[in-house]
């Protein structure tokens, strides 16, 4: 009750009280490992489902706009699903780490440009180009989480190009 009075009266908490409050908030907001896994699986599955629905909509002649919106939202939700595993701040920190910086920027820029090309400009060809670049950048970004995967892809591509 004293803490509540101090907060309401504008008194500053002591460092011990402040650290205990932060600890309490952290303890209350921390998800269990099983909840994190469930959240990840649900978001990732929803992201894949939206991407697939976008592809189905394209083949059902619903237009490039529907495809672009569903596909890009699917990628956004799939990418955000990893926030359940490591937390949003750690996820953002890892996304903008030196090894992923360029891929992350390209993915995010292509997502925005895909929306703009599809919804605002209504240019199907440009939307498709942005989606292709988005997919390639997303693949390169995803490979950065697998040790030596990028090196293997580079070696494979150089061997294919030499032939």
Q: Determine the angle formed by the axes of helices 149-162 and 124-143, rounding to 10 degrees.
A: 120
**H runs (alpha helix) in 10-100:** 15-29, 33-59, 64-81, 83-86, 88-95
Cβ proximity of 137 and 107 under 8 Å: yes
User: pTM, whole model, 2 decimals?
Assistant: 0.75
Report which of 89, 84, 82, 88 is spatially closest to residue 144, judged by C-alpha positions.
82
- Digit-by-digit pLDDT tens for the chain (163 residues) are 555 455 444 555 555 555 566 566 556 567 888 899 999 999 999 999 999 999 999 888 888 999 999 999 999 999 999 999 888 889 999 999 999 999 999 999 999 999 999 999 999 999 999 999 999 999 999 999 889 999 999 999 999 999 7
Give one DSSP letter per residue of 114-142, joined into a string: HHIIIIIS--HHHHHHHHHHHHHHHHHHH
Which pLDDT belongs to residue 4? 44
**Domain spans of the chain, in order of start:** 1-86, 97-162
Token pair for 137: 């950048």
Which pLDDT belongs to residue 31? 83
């Amino acid at each position: 009750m004293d803490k509540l009075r101090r907060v309401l009266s504008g008194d500053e908490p002591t460092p011990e009280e402040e650290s205990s409050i932060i600890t309490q908030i952290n303890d209350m907001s921390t998800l269990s490992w099983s909840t994190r896994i469930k959240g990840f699986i649900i978001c990732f599955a929803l992201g894949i489902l939206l991407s697939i629905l976008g592809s189905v909509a394209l083949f059902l002649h619903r237009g490039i706009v529907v495809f672009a919106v569903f596909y890009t939202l699917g990628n956004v939700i799939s990418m955000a699903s990893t926030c359940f595993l490591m937390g949003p701040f750690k996820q953002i920190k890892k996304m903008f780490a030196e090894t992923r910086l360029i891929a992350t920027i390209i993915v995010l820029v292509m997502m925005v440009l895909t929306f703009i090309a599809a919804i605002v400009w209504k240019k199907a060809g440009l939307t498709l180009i942005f989606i292709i670049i988005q997919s390639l950048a997303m693949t390169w970004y995803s490979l950065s989480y697998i040790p030596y995967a990028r090196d293997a892809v580079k070696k494979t591509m150089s061997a294919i190009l030499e032939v």
